Structure 1
Amino acid sequence: MPPSLVLEVLQVLEGEINLREDTRVAEQARPALKADEFRKRASGLSTSQDGFRDRIDKVVDRIKQLPDGEEEFGKEIQLLGAVSGVMSEATDILAKPETGGPAIAAETEAIELLLQSKRINPKGGGGGGANPGGGGTGKTVDSAMALLGSGVNQKEVREDRGISQATGESGPVLPEEFRAGLDEYFNKLERGGGGQ
């Protein structure tokens, strides 16, 4: 698949993730907003959602225009068609105006469908040879997880690299009896009673 189409889908994915966050914020702000203000905010979210749906529809059209596009990318066309349908539902839900569970669920479903595509892969493409720009072998889910922001990543591997604080370290810890004596000494110095 051409890199421009992959990039467009990834940008829509990022936009959809941000839209879902904006929807959550709108739902949290709902009690503090007047009805007209809330309706206006939800309408803006609905317009944004419809814009993402339109972009996905254009990607599908561009894939179909590729040589053997419908045969070679049939699965992706079907998947992006499902994304468009879910985005259309989310547009209608937001237009009601509804920013609660149903809207967030529809947006989440669109995100999950976008993540399912195996060929829409930021690691693939590029290069020349017999199969120029020809698909990758990585999984989009791994790369796109970075776009999801904070949360639980079940494939996360944490590693302690033994980095220590560079400032404020004073070497080995002294025994308690020496620390008490030093504290008393420095306290006397600070009070001006340094034995003069």
Structure 2
Amino acid sequence: MNHMEDVVKFLNSYLDVEYAGATAVYSDSDEVVNEHRDESMKFWHAVPGVILSPSFGRPMGMPQEQFAKLGANSDLARRALFLVAEYADQNWGTLYAGYIGGDRNISAQSYGGLLYVTEIKRKLKIIASYKEDFDQPSPPIHWRHSQGVEIVTLENPSAVRPIEEPTGRVAHLQDWEALLTAATDR
């Protein structure tokens, strides 16, 4: 079984690969973008019948001038990893939730997603991605399934590993602090 620090390293490695791929979308050939997509997919585990895809891409065959022009206004940022929470899940056993920032400078210090990670065949894999559900009042932050498996309702985390505070939105910081408290109250 992996420990929390292994999950932090795994998610940070994934976020590095994701950022390199997102950057390549605006600067590199179709072949290079596809290489980054393939590298990104090594971090994911697709359950049969469930579609997963990287968070970056572009239509293939786009002229370089066109994607370079789009890139001039992209304002990309490497996503921050704010916190990792460990849960006991009835279907997956130990499940980790990685709270990540947005992928643009304007959203980098706010929650931009939630990735669920578990061990599959002795390797950590991302099995689900969630986005904030803006139709629900916060805090707490409510999440909407984006891709991968759907996670059933989880109890309070058994452990958390704070990395950095989200500072973009007050509700996100309050949610982050509540997760820290929930784990210590167990």
Q: Same fold (TM over 0.5)?
A: no
Q: Higher helix fraction: Structure 1 or Structure 2?
A: 1
- Structure of higher RCO (CA pairs closer than 8 Å, 6+ residues apart): 1
How does the TM-score come out when normalised to structure 1? 0.31
How does the TM-score come out when normalised to structure 2? 0.33
Q: Higher strand fraction: Structure 1 or Structure 2?
A: 2
